[in-house]
A and B are shown apart, each in its own frame.
Chain A
Amino acid sequence: MSDIARDAAASRLGTVPAGADAFWRKDDWWAVAIGLGVIAVAAALFTFGSSLAWLAIIPAKWTTPDQLASHFAANWPRYVAQFALWLVVVTVALVALGQRLRDTVPAFVFLYALSVAIFALGQWASAIRYNLEPPLVALVVGLAIANLRLLPRGLDAGFRVEFYIKLGVVLLGATLPLTLIAWAGPVALLQASVVSVVTFLVIFFAARSLGIDPRFAAVLGVGGAVCGVSAAIAIAAAVGARRQDAAVVISIVIGWAILMIFALPFAAGALVLPAGVGGAWIGTSEFADAAGLAAAQAYGDIAAKVPGAHAGAVDQSVAAFTLMKVVGRDVWIGIWAMVLSIVAATRWEATGITSRVGAVDIWRRFPKFVIGFLLASIFITLVAQRVGHAQFGHAATTDLVTPIKNLRTWAFAFGFLSIGLTTRVSDLARVGVRPLLAFSSGVVVNVGLGFVLSVLVFGGYWAHLGQ
């Protein structure tokens, strides 16, 4: 008896009744609530002349081990307080999402301790010389721990990649003024839409020409063109794909996404692309938000070390990626589901299951954390207007925006480390040659077309993002 059949045999144990599948059972809404809560507290403190900066500490740049030791000796109460805050917030959210308390707490203790170590290593003055960008180190260390089976599997309860990444994206919204999103959003939407549609069609027709079932081909297509695993799962249900088809797409997306976390930053670095251009290219070429943010942040670190680079290279790379991937690609998931559902019902061989995804699913499947990202940007823009742009500039950078940015960096660090800690190669479904070939043909087009649009067509645009 398969696991899924056993879960079904357990009757209601495997089914969440309608209505119980509410917003508090979704990690999107928890990320939105926590992210906006942090931003509101930071803004309130700033308004009353205080700041969240004491709590939002990050390791300082260091050259000698003594400097690092001095930093921790002087600031350990701040790290303890920050850890306690994260522990409470993360535990409440993950337990509400269905994780076990006894697994979540030790998992987060481990995650935070390892994140501090990797963060500190990344602040070493010579780290860039040895390619020790924190997202890449986090991934390698996490992969080693997971695949050498050094931790109990139950600790995955605290290694929730999506939750941390969505929380980081909401916090990121508070560091981008609404005017910037309004300025760059349409270009991101246009560019991402072109790349998404072309990539989907290439993968779909490549798969069909290789004799792959149309439902499987559609799931492969959206896995490469929209938002990776999340799109694959949503469209698998919309078209009624076989369980194993989605499992294969998950394996392929994970493989390519992890490969691209390393390949794209180094390729962009070899081409000496400006940070914003590299971030936009990664945004059109990566397959998942978490993997893409890891690549974009790593590339920002690389671009920042180029002589003459501006101080905000990391922020520019991450912002360009987010606009391209999250705003430009992810938001279309409901429309893809509706269109492909109609095609499946009217054009493809029947499965015996009657299903039609309607227009209401465009909203139901909308990635709600994007709303949090936009609300955060609107909120911080209103605060800036209320305070007045002249006074807002310097004080807000150090007392309001920087603390939020630091907490965002922590959230992303937890997410990047969790990617590696949950990737067990032996768990993944076996992948056949034909689906791999079909998906890979889309990767080639995706990366090539993304480069043309990000570098050659809109390069000047992305190079000056936020400046």
Chain B
Amino acid sequence: MRPGEAHCIACRYFVNDPAAFERALPGLAVLSSARAASRVGDGLCSHHDRHVPETASCAAFALVAPHG
């Protein structure tokens, strides 16, 4: 994955912050963790409402607005 490519990690619909991930999936932390190595950078797409790897892409990609 190169900088500037339209992957989920740069999309405004993508959520992979561990705390947000655990809020979205109640019970996840009972027998696992959003901070587990096996989750790598996976996240949730709020546009498709699906699990996606950070390297995925789709036609609905929307670049995150820069800070400031």
In the assembled complex, the CB of B29 is this many whole angstroms from the nearest CB of chain A, namely 6
From 236 to 250 in chain A, residues with beta carbon under 8 angstroms from any chain B beta carbon are 236-238, 240-244, 246-247, 250
Indicate which residue in B15, B24, B37 contacts A15 across the interface (CB closer than 8 Å). B15
From 31 to 50 in chain B, residues with beta carbon under 8 angstroms from any chain A beta carbon are 31-33, 35-46, 48-50
Known: A2-B46, A240-B48, A365-B37. 7 other contacts (CB 8 A): A7-B23, A16-B17, A160-B33, A230-B38, A253-B31, A365-B39, A422-B30
Indicate which residue in A18, A238, A244, A251 contacts B27 across the interface (CB closer than 8 Å). A251
Residue of chain B at shortest CB distance from A31: B37
From 1 to 29 in chain B, residues with beta carbon under 8 angstroms from any chain A beta carbon are 1, 9, 12-20, 23-29
Number of inter-chain CB pairs below 8 Å: 216
Residue among B1, B17, B25, B58 having the largest count of chain A Cβ atoms under 10 Å: B25
- CB pair A233 B39 closer than 8 Å: yes
29 contacts between A and B (CB under 8 A): A3-B20, A4-B20, A4-B46, A8-B46, A12-B64, A15-B16, A17-B9, A25-B35, A27-B36, A28-B37, A97-B35, A230-B36, A237-B53, A240-B50, A241-B50, A243-B25, A243-B49, A247-B27, A250-B25, A250-B26, A250-B30, A254-B31, A353-B50, A355-B55, A361-B40, A365-B38, A365-B40, A422-B29, A429-B26
When chains A and B are docked, how far (Å) is the Cα of A351 from the Cα of B53? 14
When chains A and B are docked, how far (Å) is the Cα of A291 from the Cα of B27? 14
Residue among B18, B26, B53, B64 having the largest count of chain A Cβ atoms under 10 Å: B53
When chains A and B are docked, how far (Å) is the Cα of A222 from the Cα of B64? 33
Is A26 interfacial (CB 8 A cutoff)? yes
Indicate which residue in A3, A242, A291 contacts B50 across the interface (CB closer than 8 Å). A242
When chains A and B are docked, how far (Å) is the Cα of A2 from the Cα of B18? 17
Residue of chain B at shortest CB distance from A231: B38
Number of chain A residues whose Cβ lies closer than 8 Å to a Cβ of chain B: 77
- CB pair B36 A16 closer than 8 Å: no
In the assembled complex, the CB of A425 is this many whole angstroms from the nearest CB of chain B, namely 9
When chains A and B are docked, how far (Å) is the Cα of A26 from the Cα of B23? 18
* Given A17-B9, A228-B32, A353-B50: A234 in contact with B27 (beta carbons within 8 A): no
Top 7 nearest A-B pairs (CB, nearest first) are A237-B42, A229-B32, A355-B56, A8-B46, A162-B33, A14-B15, A236-B51
Residue of chain A at shortest CB distance from B36: A230
- CB pair A7 B24 closer than 8 Å: yes
Q: Which residues of A contact B25 (CB under 8 A)?
A: 233, 243, 246-247, 250
When chains A and B are docked, how far (Å) is the Cα of A422 from the Cα of B34? 14
Is A367 interfacial (CB 8 A cutoff)? yes
In the assembled complex, the CB of A241 is this many whole angstroms from the nearest CB of chain B, namely 5
Residue of chain B at shortest CB distance from A427: B26
- CB pair A291 B37 closer than 8 Å: no
- CB pair B18 A16 closer than 8 Å: yes
- CB pair A161 B29 closer than 8 Å: yes
Q: Which residues of B contact A241 (CB under 8 A)?
A: 50-51
When chains A and B are docked, how far (Å) is the Cα of A367 from the Cα of B36? 8
Indicate which residue in A4, A26, A355 contacts B37 across the interface (CB closer than 8 Å). A26
- CB pair A354 B15 closer than 8 Å: no
When chains A and B are docked, how far (Å) is the Cα of A162 from the Cα of B51? 21
When chains A and B are docked, how far (Å) is the Cα of A27 from the Cα of B39? 11
- CB pair B27 A243 closer than 8 Å: no
When chains A and B are docked, how far (Å) is the Cα of A243 from the Cα of B31? 18
Q: CB-defined interface of A28-67 with B at 8 Å, one 1/0 digit per residue? A: 1100000000000000000000000000000000000000
- CB pair A233 B67 closer than 8 Å: no
- CB pair B52 A237 closer than 8 Å: yes
Q: Which residues of A contact B16 (CB under 8 A)?
A: 14-16, 21
- CB pair A353 B56 closer than 8 Å: yes
